[in-house]
């Protein structure tokens, strides 16, 4: 895979540039929306939910920011990745190139946006008076896991989208449900232990919780928590790679 990526390096770089320019085409503020959009979402969520959930939650703005940061990156990468095969059919039906290049280029664009927002996130952390410690280096683990998890999810969605175009509408409903089930603006402490354990079945919640434990609580999650993230990441990425390999030639007949 790495060798093919290097062989088609020029095409990959051009795809990244194209996706980035396409997203901000005909906008006045351009790349500034990468930062403004999540900040506006954060402002609205903090204003609406602080009176209901934030009274007894320390550093509530950072609590919401953690959830919104991770979930927005997941939604942006997977939503954009869904249509990569269909949207680039005019290229790979004429030129023999690996189809995952289009998905990876879209994920790079989402990752750049995530990196920009992450810088702003750390600024908010500093303004909120939370200390920066060496434990912040542990955030590389959920970030790397989330990158691979998003790529795997994008592979699955883009493969399904080739055969079932209805998946885009179902996924919109799914992401809305997932947002409410990821404890972005509320805490799960008041729920019974059995209910809290059910949240561990949500991989997006695992990534969000990891960020919160490092940044807000100042603790490194236990080993079993790392293992859960690894299992979800490997499982989804493996399934995505398998689907691309199995249906690689069939994609040509349905695009």
Q: 159 with 247: CB under 8 angstroms?
A: yes
Residue 229: which of 153, 123, 173, 146 has the closest Cα?
Answer: 146
Per DSSP, the three-state class of 37 is helix
Q: Is residue 190 over pLDDT 90?
A: no
Residue 30: its pLDDT value, please?
A: 58
Tens digits of per-residue pLDDT, 56-88?
778 888 999 999 999 999 998 998 888 887 877
Tell me which residue range forms the domain holding 121.
2-254
Residue 253: its pLDDT value, please?
A: 65
| DSSP assignment letter at 214 | I
The first and second tokens of residue 18, run together, are: 């194209």
Residue that wins the pLDDT comparison between 50 and 247: 247
Q: Is residue 249 over pLDDT 90?
A: no
Q: Phi then psi for 234, rounded to 5 degrees?
A: -65, -40
Tens digits of per-residue pLDDT, 16-72?
666 666 666 665 555 666 677 777 777 777 776 666 665 677 888 899 999 999 999
**pTM for the complete prediction?**
0.88
Structural domain count of the chain: 1
User: H helices of the chain, where?
Assistant: 2-7, 9-23, 33-53, 60-82, 84-87, 89-92, 100-127, 140-163, 167-180, 193-198, 203-212, 223-246, 251-254
Tens digits of per-residue pLDDT, 200-246?
999 999 999 999 999 999 999 999 999 999 999 999 999 998 988 88
């Amino acid at each position: 895979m790495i060798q093919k990526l290097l062989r088609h390096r020029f095409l990959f770089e051009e795809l990244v540039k194209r996706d980035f320019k396409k997203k901000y085409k005909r906008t006045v503020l351009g790349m500034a929306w990468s930062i403004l959009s999540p900040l506006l979402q954060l402002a609205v969520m903090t204003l609406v939910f602080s009176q209901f959930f934030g009274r007894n939650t320390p550093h509530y703005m950072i609590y919401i920011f953690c959830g919104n940061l991770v979930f927005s990156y997941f939604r942006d990468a997977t939503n954009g990745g869904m249509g990569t095969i269909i949207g680039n059919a005019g290229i790979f039906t004429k030129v023999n190139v690996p189809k995952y290049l289009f998905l990876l280029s879209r994920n790079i664009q989402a990752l750049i946006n995530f990196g920009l927002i992450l810088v702003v996130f750390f600024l908010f952390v500093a303004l909120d008076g939370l200390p920066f410690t060496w434990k912040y280096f542990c955030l590389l683990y959920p970030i790397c896991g989330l990158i691979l998890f998003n790529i795997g999810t994008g592979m699955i969605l883009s493969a399904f989208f080739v055969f079932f175009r209805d998946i885009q509408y179902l996924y919109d409903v799914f992401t809305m449900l997932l947002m409410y089930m990821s404890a972005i603006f509320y805490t799960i402490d008041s729920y019974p232990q059995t209910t809290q354990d059910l949240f561990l079945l949500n991989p997006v919640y695992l990534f969000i919780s990891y960020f919160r434990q490092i940044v807000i609580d100042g603790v490194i999650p236990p080993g079993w928590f790392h293992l859960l993230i690894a299992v979800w990441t490997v499982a989804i990425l493996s399934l995505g790679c398998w689907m691309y390999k199995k249906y690689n030639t069939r994609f040509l007949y349905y695009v």
